[in-house]
A and B are shown apart, each in its own frame.
Chain A
């Protein structure tokens, strides 16, 4: 079993995510779902325009800039083919557009509101994600992102 201390940065990071999602909601009355924000920043939403989502994305990238002062860049597993990464990006973009959210929109914001729709979505993508990881580990280990 992993040590309890490993959970300290995890929970601390989660609390920051929860604070940020609340700020975004309180200021804009928008759910801080990153997949929807990406589409809104480019296509422009029905309400509020592109400014807010673009500003949010700029904030996310800035956080990476701040992070780069303290730690090494996060990497996709070196052995993982780039084509797999592109395929994964297409699937994540397509799936979140069709399913109406990702780990932030459904997983954090929707679950925090106890929305049945988001609870179902979250259970689905965690289960299918786990199945995918298990299949890749068994059948195509060089594709593994671990």
Chain B
């Protein structure tokens, strides 16, 4: 199947999942993050969403792996996940994301699905998300390049 078609279908089903789950409503996300029930009773539904998604995806990936011949993947660099680097970037980036997530109740997926409902303030968030993503990508590359220079690693050898 054409990659554009599968990409579109995946996005559609992914987005419908977010609509059905109610996670396109920022209040439901913040209701989960409010573990102490400071503003209203705690809403645990996000656990069901993540649990359903992780179990489904995890089980299907294992089934896929079993069916495919390892040799079929040999030429596909994307298949093997990159080494699991645990570094400061992972903590700092994830923490900064957490602040924005807690402030707004939006993460990228639900905010983009919200655009399909028509004009609204989610557009502001998405515009800022794009700008922030480029600044973040630029900074992350700059930090990595300067570290590589310090360590004497060439870009080609990375």
Residues in chain A within 8 A of chain B (CB atoms)? 2, 6-7, 9-30, 32, 34-35, 38-39, 42-43, 47-48, 51-68, 70-71, 73-77, 80, 82, 84-100, 102-104, 106-109, 111-117, 120-122, 124-134, 136-138, 141, 143-146
Q: CB-CB < 8 A to A138: which residues of B? A: 38
Complexed CA–CA distance, A44 and B139 (Å): 18
A-B contact pairs, 10 of them (CB 8 A): A19-B60, A34-B108, A38-B130, A76-B104, A77-B26, A104-B109, A108-B57, A112-B57, A132-B99, A141-B39
Q: Among A52, A91, A106, A128, which residue has the most Cβ atoms of chain B within 10 A?
A: A91
Which chain B residues (31-77) contact chain A, with CB distance < 8 Å?
31, 33-36, 38-41, 43-58, 60-61, 64, 76-77
B151 interface residue, CB < 8 Å from A? no
Cβ contact within 8 Å between A63 and B21: no
Q: CB-CB < 8 A to B153: which residues of A? A: none
Interface class of chain B by DSSP: helix
Cβ contact within 8 Å between A76 and B125: yes
B107 CB → nearest A CB, Å:
4
Residues in chain B within 8 A of chain A (CB atoms)? 1, 3-27, 29-31, 33-36, 38-41, 43-58, 60-61, 64, 76-79, 81, 84-86, 89-118, 120-122, 124-137, 139-140
Q: CB-CB < 8 A to A104: which residues of B? A: 14, 107-109
Known: A13-B19, A20-B13, A129-B102. A57 touches B112 (CB 8 A): yes
Q: Among B27, B51, B95, which residue has the most Cβ atoms of chain A within 10 A?
A: B95
Cβ contact within 8 Å between A130 and B33: yes
B54 CB → nearest A CB, Å:
5
Q: CB-CB < 8 A to A136: which residues of B? A: 102-103
Q: CB-CB < 8 A to B121: which residues of A? A: 75-76, 82, 85
Cβ contact within 8 Å between A61 and B116: yes
A60's partner among B14, B23, B137, B139 (CB-CB below 8 A) is B14
Complexed CA–CA distance, A78 and B105 (Å): 13
Q: CB-CB < 8 A to A90: which residues of B? A: 100, 128-129, 131-132, 135
